[in-house]
Chains A and B, each alone.
Chain A
Amino acid sequence: MDKRLFASLVVVLNLLLLMNSVFSQTQSLDTFSTLEEEIILLERNEISNIGSNRHTKPEKERVVVINRMDLDDYEKILEDDYIEVYYWDKNASIRVLNKVNGYIWGGLPSEKPSDMNVTWSGIGNSLVSIDYYDQAGIERKTSIAANNVKREYVVNGNTIFFSVNFTQLGISFDFSVELNDGSLIFRLDSDSIQETGKYMLGSVYFVPFFGSVRADEIDGYIFIPDGPGALIRFDKPFKYLSNFEKRVYGKDFAIDHLFEVNDLKVSRPNDFATEEKSVLMPIFGVVHGPKQNGLFARITSGEEYAAIVATPAGVLTNYNWVSAKFIYRQKYLQPTTRSGAGVQIVQQNRNHFDPEIRYYFLSGDDADYVGMAKVYRNMLYEEGVLARQERIDSQIPLKIGILGSDIEKGFIFNNLKVITSLKQAEEIVTSLNSEDISNLTVVMKGWQEGGLNGSKTSKFAFEEKLGEKDAFLEFSDFVDQQGGRFYFYENPVAVNQFQIDLRKEGGHSLSQDLIKIQRDNDYIWIKDTYLVKINLVADYLENKAELYKSNGMKNMAVDEVGFKLYAENQRGDVVTRDQARVMLEETAKNIVNNLENLALYTPNQYFWRYSSEIFHLPMVNSQYIYETDTVPFIQIVLKGSIDYYAPYSNMGFYSPTDILRLIEYGAYPSFVLTALTNDELKYTAISDSYYSTYYEHWLDVIVSTYNTINNVLSKFEGKQIVDRTVLKEGVVKVDYEGDVSIIVNYTNYDYFFENDVVPALGYLIV
């Protein structure tokens, strides 16, 4: 019985074998087309890019701007070699005459324009305007031109001293206007502020409508420091939802934490928006006719409590205006339930600071954003913030961020995943070296014990699974010997609950709760980010720098601290925002003594003095629909003084127009790489943030991107930018010192310049 079964089985199987071999076919592989031929087709839509506000528009044909303001009813009150200041006491307004070209600057063209009501006319004309709160928290605006304001002034030398008293509100204070070497300085004496009534002072604006333009009556623009720099060209009124208001040096997370509900009501996660760029420099400007007349304003004191406010025509008024808002009090969210819902209430105590803002009057070649950038650059040189200390290399540097290790979600416990071992990192460096790229800025992230998102912020230890200290130092020396620099990455600011003891080390907001940044996405593992107490941030950094020195570690790359400036508001332990800034500056000054190089990511202007290199400099503005252009203001200021790098190219910045932008803005390329493919990373904490980092996939792109940019920018190492012109939509010429220029062509047709051709999606050095 068994035997028969066995035999039949054998027969059947053999039959199957036979059948299969009879019916199987072979098929030859077709050859597939090469991709290179298709590249042009694939990038054909890039030309749509140039009409957007990520690029700069060409200036229209020059029309001479004539004075729209007159000096009737005004009396001269101050004068020096450069400007004359006129004043009319009826509405406490000033006019400024630029002696160089006779242009008159002021608020509104008349005392009460037909399209403005009395309150706004007062705000538009007068020297000072305020926002104030009543007991119920309702915010209102008024100015010193209003009826019930008592004003007194006295001129003393080059300064007008004012005392104002809003009698109905019970608010009074003193301020001054000083004429100093062709510039006007507005100051408010905070000690003189008195609030005797039921009203509380909210914010103060100096000459809010200075340089404002009605609709598109003049060809010109407002310049705001959004990202690298943005222009709002004067245009007809349009009903925008809101204006531009951003705090200088970014939000103060210890009090600013109001975000709108972003509910998309779909199965996709709700955190769809990319981060808006922050204001890195406390400046703004207005141009009436490019290369004709310009205003440049710089906040010189109290910028930690200031916001840049720019309003295009159509939002509340038909005027385009820009001003600085000095915030004494603001509203914040006091949560009363566990889910975070609560009441918005007004700050009880005023912020302590003394506002000071300076206005400079520009004309001729200085009167555009390039001129402003050069003016600002000179100021920073004179103050010692910047110096001609860019490292001059024969080949441009290439930044490679390497992810070493991170925590991974396990079945019961979390474990540590090695993402790129030191050996693999060495392989990456060697393969780049073999392609003749040796000037590498290597940043090792996740080298600490616990990985990138699991390491304790207060501790200093190497992750053993990657290697011992000596292995790291060996790798560091290896990179240095090849001609590069090796940085250890630090993030002492933004952490998750695994990294700090929340009660002791977490920063608190004014509501006494921990500062928590939540991502509205149910699919990711770690949704909440906490901020470390700001004084601890300073301490940890200083301790770490000392440990670096004693351990022979040379370079530190610090993330987050450059652009996150926040107070500590736990009762009894308060550090104000300006104290925090002083603290961080002091720390930076101390740690550079222990380090060879300190690099910062997207640093605010006060850190530039201490930075050897700047990582992740913004290249595009926040793209509000009223912004008409992106301009490389910050790049013009920094080029020739510090090496700066663009955001990671492999995270959405690798197209040909992006590479051209790097060339145009003088920025060096950067990439973030791992030795694992991204689906192998899907259970780690960083899986949602990086989409494509596997180095074998990117090696070719890195080499070709580097070579393209290096061919150009290696010739411009250490040179300053002298001018920038948009020859035609999509064709930009950047002039450097030494009489050499780059012309970049973002369009897909050739551009003829003098006797040369700038190829489509290409560049030309002249």
Chain B
Amino acid sequence: MITRKSYIHFVILIFILILTISSLSFAEISNENATAYSYTISEDGVWVRTQDAYLVGNILFKDLNLKSPEDIFIRNEKIYIAEGGNGQIVIVDINNSNNINYVGKGILNMPTGVFVDEKGRILVADYGLGEVVMFDSNGELLRRYKRPESIVFGQKANYNPRKVVSDKMGNIYIVSEGTYDGIIQLSEDGEFLGYFGANITYLSFGEALLNLIFTKEQQAQLFNIIPKTFYNLAIDDEGLIYTITQGVGRNAIKKHNVSGNNILKQANRMISEPNFVDITVGNYNQIYALTETGLIYEYDSEGNLIYSFGGRAISTERNGFFTVPVGIAVDQVDNVYILDKERGIVHVFYPTAITNMTHEAISLYEKGKYIESMSYWQEILKLSGRSRIAHNGLGKAYFQSQDYEKAAEHFKIANNKIDYSEAYWEIRNLWLQNNIATILIVVFLVWVLWRIVKLLDKKYGILNVFRNFFRKTKEVKLVSDVLYMGRFMLHPIDSSYDIKHGKKASVMSATLVYVLAFIAFVLDYLFKGFIFNPRDFREVSYLYVIMIFGLPLALWVVSNYLVSTLNDGEGKFRDVYCTTSYALAPLVLFMPIVTLLSYVITLNEGFIIQFASVAIWVWCGVLIFVSLKEIHNFSVGGVIKNILLTLFLMFVIVIAYFIVYMLGSEAFNFIYTLIKEASYRIG
């Protein structure tokens, strides 16, 4: 019997918020062999699809019925799996899948991490026991690493080993759950050596501000700023430790030196995700990281992303789609193994030819053999069409072979401003070398010509035509008002007085100056030279640009006038409008020069641009300050008060607008939903 109540309950249950999202594309264009696309970073820094980098070969262990396997490790052609649900380590021969051994049954409780050192000894992090256990290669128990008793370790410190590695000297590194001080380092004998490589905490701006205000007791109560814990770790052949941290957008992957500092060259610029679950190092020192959603990211040893592949199995299980991926490992022929804890199986990916080529290229690149890597990078570009790492590789190769034009071209395509700047320096240098003689001659000739012209002018007045022309144009009021900018810049007080009393400038000329200022602003914002231009004009909507220039100015002028009338300022709206526009004169006159300069200087001389830009804006600010004082007739203190109040009013207007917008949008959505539902029920 279906009661009304259960019907309603059911309807609510059925009210599934499924978004009509699909991953459909035209069937004609698809990678036939792959179930998920392989991605790389294009030359302009976006994720793009590319040729299949890795494809799934075999699916392993379907018949082993592994129960909650937590970790996978490969060494010496054997696969080691920490089977958490059965309290054992399963060892399978890569070449002979029937050769299976079990280690630790009866001793282990819930192994979550497994590692095999060079001597073949098996280290197991057992979360259930709260210990790290070491077995020899035959499975005999060698020792147990219980909670360190050292006083330095402390009584309250956590010891919940989840993952473990050891280095060539036998030191053991343990990632322990709830340990904020970093990786626990033990000697081979179990002695506590200290913590390794803790994460740094960052205070947000708001927190830092509050930190200043609150007392120490209040701080201790309110803020529990603790560093994030590590989630997993790996070690490479040179003994360097790699860690993963979850929940951070940047630097989720770190490569630590002996002191624990992050030595990845791309640190702070690396593309990383907040949900990595495992990490391993490949045969070319490249880094593989696995996300919680089944994606594999492959980076070179500097942290540049090479390829990304894999996918998530939600309701369909295809090769290369994972339900709960927990472990990643690489064997000596570069196959990548991904362990799915929920299904108890391992998907094996093998690299395609383009990936092997990429590995060869980065291996040569890292040894500094840029020129030898060139032919590989060219092949890779041909096949994959767009690849940032290939363009950078080619750029470096051309640079090393001194073909600076080509190097600059590739660095520019790869948006690599630093290396482009260096290549450009070389090009400029060569150009100067080649052309300095001609330049000097030309300069000399021009100077001579100028002297001759001046001489002729003195005698015959040949330049009088131009002089008359200029005089006539200056007589037009509009032109002279606009040119008044120059005077305003140098003598703001007198000029403001003139404007206030109507002697100079008009609304028309002020508007013209605003337009000119806008043009100068757009040129500087969007069209600086490549080295100093942080954005692509095509990506920016023209409405946005108008808004970021026009809106603050408009708000400022209006707010200032409103505030000033309340404050007994003398200035009329026209005055505020005109003086603000003329205060932008330095922008109009000098910013274009700075913009032009950005095309010919390199990063080494970048301070010129920064300095000049700051100087121009400061000058504008000073002009505004002075002109406000003059037209409103305030004291210095009064001007400061006026400015602060204006800023406050601008802020209030913006907030008011957002509130109205959000409320309106919510109301609209609500009515829309009502109408839709009503029409469905009636129809």
| A residues apposed to B, CB below 8 Å | 6, 10, 13-14, 16-17, 20-21, 26-27, 29-30, 32-33, 35, 38-39, 41-46, 48-49, 51-54, 134-138, 236, 238-242, 257-276, 278, 333-345, 409-412, 494, 512, 516-520, 523, 529, 559-560, 563, 571, 601-602, 615-616, 618-620, 622-626, 646-648, 651-655, 658, 672, 677-679, 682-683, 688-694, 697-698
17 other A-B residue contacts (CB within 8 Å) besides A32-B371, A262-B23, A648-B28: A29-B401, A45-B356, A258-B18, A262-B312, A264-B294, A335-B20, A336-B680, A337-B672, A341-B18, A344-B16, A411-B537, A518-B21, A616-B27, A624-B317, A652-B34, A658-B32, A692-B386
- B315: which A residues are within 8 A, CB to CB? 241-242, 260
In the complex, per-residue mask of B532-554: 1 if CB is within 8 Å of any chain A CB, else 0: 00000110001000000000000
Interface stretch among B50-58, B142-150, B201-209, B476-484? Answer: B50-58
A33 touching B375, Cβ below 8 Å: yes
Instruction: Name the 8 nearest CB pairs between A and B, nearest first.
Output: A692-B385, A48-B57, A652-B31, A48-B350, A678-B385, A697-B382, A341-B17, A45-B350
B337–chain A nearest beta-carbon distance, Å = 12
A653 touching B21, Cβ below 8 Å: no
- A345: which B residues are within 8 A, CB to CB? 14
- A410: which B residues are within 8 A, CB to CB? 538
* Number of CB contacts from chain A to chain B under 8 A: 326
B353 touching A135, Cβ below 8 Å: no
A619 CA to B15 CA, complexed, in Å: 40
B350 touching A49, Cβ below 8 Å: yes
A214 CA to B504 CA, complexed, in Å: 99
Which of the listed residues A29, A46, A274 has the most CB atoms from chain B within 10 Å of its own CB?
A274
- B467 at the A interface (CB under 8 A): no
B673 touching A268, Cβ below 8 Å: no
Of the candidates A20, A134, A648, A677, which one forms a contact with B429 in the assembled complex, judged by CB atoms under 8 Å apart? A20
Of the candidates A20, A261, A619, A672, which one forms a contact with B18 in the assembled complex, judged by CB atoms under 8 Å apart? A261
Cβ-closest chain B residue relative to A137:
B14
Cβ-closest chain A residue relative to B54:
A45
- B382: which A residues are within 8 A, CB to CB? 692, 694, 697-698
25 contacts between A and B (CB under 8 A): A16-B436, A30-B372, A32-B372, A32-B375, A33-B375, A51-B57, A241-B316, A264-B295, A268-B308, A272-B23, A272-B295, A274-B35, A336-B677, A517-B24, A518-B21, A559-B26, A623-B56, A626-B317, A647-B28, A648-B28, A652-B34, A653-B33, A682-B42, A691-B51, A694-B382
A624 CA to B321 CA, complexed, in Å: 9
In the complex, per-residue mask of B23-48: 1 if CB is within 8 Å of any chain A CB, else 0: 11111111111111101001110111
A88 CA to B254 CA, complexed, in Å: 70
B27 touching A602, Cβ below 8 Å: yes
- B433 at the A interface (CB under 8 A): yes
User: Which residues between 340 and 380 of chain B lie within 8 Å of chain A, taking CB atoms?
Assistant: 343, 345, 348, 350-353, 356-357, 360, 371-372, 374-376, 379
User: Which residues between 293 and 350 of chain B lie within 8 Å of chain A, taking CB atoms?
Assistant: 293-295, 308, 310-321, 323, 333-335, 343, 345, 348, 350
- B59 at the A interface (CB under 8 A): yes
- B292 at the A interface (CB under 8 A): yes
- B321: which A residues are within 8 A, CB to CB? 273
Q: A21-B433, A411-B538 are in contact. Are A620 and B33 (CB under 8 A)?
A: yes
- B52: which A residues are within 8 A, CB to CB? 652
A659–chain B nearest beta-carbon distance, Å = 12
Of the candidates A6, A134, A683, which one forms a contact with B538 in the assembled complex, judged by CB atoms under 8 Å apart? A683
A42 touching B353, Cβ below 8 Å: yes
Cβ-closest chain A residue relative to B391:
A679
- B680: which A residues are within 8 A, CB to CB? 334, 336
- B611 at the A interface (CB under 8 A): no
- A265: which B residues are within 8 A, CB to CB? 273-275, 291-293
Cβ-closest chain A residue relative to B672:
A338
- B402: which A residues are within 8 A, CB to CB? 26-27
- B228: which A residues are within 8 A, CB to CB? none
- A13: which B residues are within 8 A, CB to CB? 436, 440
- A647: which B residues are within 8 A, CB to CB? 28, 30, 32
A325 CA to B488 CA, complexed, in Å: 84
B57 touching A136, Cβ below 8 Å: no
Cβ-closest chain B residue relative to A198:
B2
- B471 at the A interface (CB under 8 A): no
- A337: which B residues are within 8 A, CB to CB? 669, 672-673, 676
- B16: which A residues are within 8 A, CB to CB? 343-344
- B11 at the A interface (CB under 8 A): yes
B470–chain A nearest beta-carbon distance, Å = 25
- B37: which A residues are within 8 A, CB to CB? 272-274
Q: A48-B335, A275-B25 are in contact. Are A38 and B316 (CB under 8 A)?
A: no
Of the candidates B58, B312, B316, which one forms a contact with A51 in the assembled complex, judged by CB atoms under 8 Å apart? B58
- B568 at the A interface (CB under 8 A): no
- B316: which A residues are within 8 A, CB to CB? 241-242, 276, 624
A684 CA to B683 CA, complexed, in Å: 42
A9 CA to B48 CA, complexed, in Å: 51
B333 touching A692, Cβ below 8 Å: no
- B50: which A residues are within 8 A, CB to CB? 691-692
B273 touching A267, Cβ below 8 Å: yes
User: Which residues between 224 and 270 of chain B lie within 8 Å of chain A, taking CB atoms?
Assistant: none
- A602: which B residues are within 8 A, CB to CB? 27-28
- A135: which B residues are within 8 A, CB to CB? 2, 7
A648 CA to B293 CA, complexed, in Å: 30
A651 touching B371, Cβ below 8 Å: no
- B18: which A residues are within 8 A, CB to CB? 258-261, 333, 341-342, 344
A689 touching B295, Cβ below 8 Å: no
A242 CA to B98 CA, complexed, in Å: 28
A198–chain B nearest beta-carbon distance, Å = 8
Which of the listed residues A272, A341, A518, A694 has the most CB atoms from chain B within 10 Å of its own CB?
A272
A240 CA to B342 CA, complexed, in Å: 11
- B372: which A residues are within 8 A, CB to CB? 30, 32-33
- A38: which B residues are within 8 A, CB to CB? 357, 360
A138 CA to B28 CA, complexed, in Å: 37
- B19 at the A interface (CB under 8 A): yes
A337 CA to B670 CA, complexed, in Å: 9
B443–chain A nearest beta-carbon distance, Å = 8
- B456 at the A interface (CB under 8 A): no
- B216 at the A interface (CB under 8 A): no
Cβ-closest chain B residue relative to A625:
B317
Q: A266-B275, A274-B36, A336-B680 are in contact. Are A238 and B62 (CB under 8 A)?
A: yes
A27 touching B379, Cβ below 8 Å: no
- B311: which A residues are within 8 A, CB to CB? 272-273
Cβ-closest chain A residue relative to B311:
A272
A274–chain B nearest beta-carbon distance, Å = 5
- A238: which B residues are within 8 A, CB to CB? 62
B33 touching A241, Cβ below 8 Å: no
- B314: which A residues are within 8 A, CB to CB? 260-262
- A341: which B residues are within 8 A, CB to CB? 17-19
Cβ-closest chain A residue relative to B59:
A625
Q: A624-B318, A691-B50 are in contact. Are A519 and B23 (CB under 8 A)?
A: yes
In the complex, per-residue mask of B408-420: 1 if CB is within 8 Å of any chain A CB, else 0: 0000010000000
A505–chain B nearest beta-carbon distance, Å = 19
A49 touching B7, Cβ below 8 Å: no
- B10 at the A interface (CB under 8 A): yes
- B640: which A residues are within 8 A, CB to CB? none
Which of the listed residues A412, A623, A647, A691 has the most CB atoms from chain B within 10 Å of its own CB?
A691
B349–chain A nearest beta-carbon distance, Å = 9
Q: A238-B62, A268-B295 are in contact. Are A259 and B23 (CB under 8 A)?
A: yes
A634–chain B nearest beta-carbon distance, Å = 14
A764 CA to B371 CA, complexed, in Å: 40
A259 touching B20, Cβ below 8 Å: yes
- B63 at the A interface (CB under 8 A): yes
Of the candidates B14, B43, B343, which one forms a contact with A343 in the assembled complex, judged by CB atoms under 8 Å apart? B14
Of the candidates A49, A677, A688, which one forms a contact with B57 in the assembled complex, judged by CB atoms under 8 Å apart? A49
- B542: which A residues are within 8 A, CB to CB? 411-412
- B35: which A residues are within 8 A, CB to CB? 273-274, 622-623
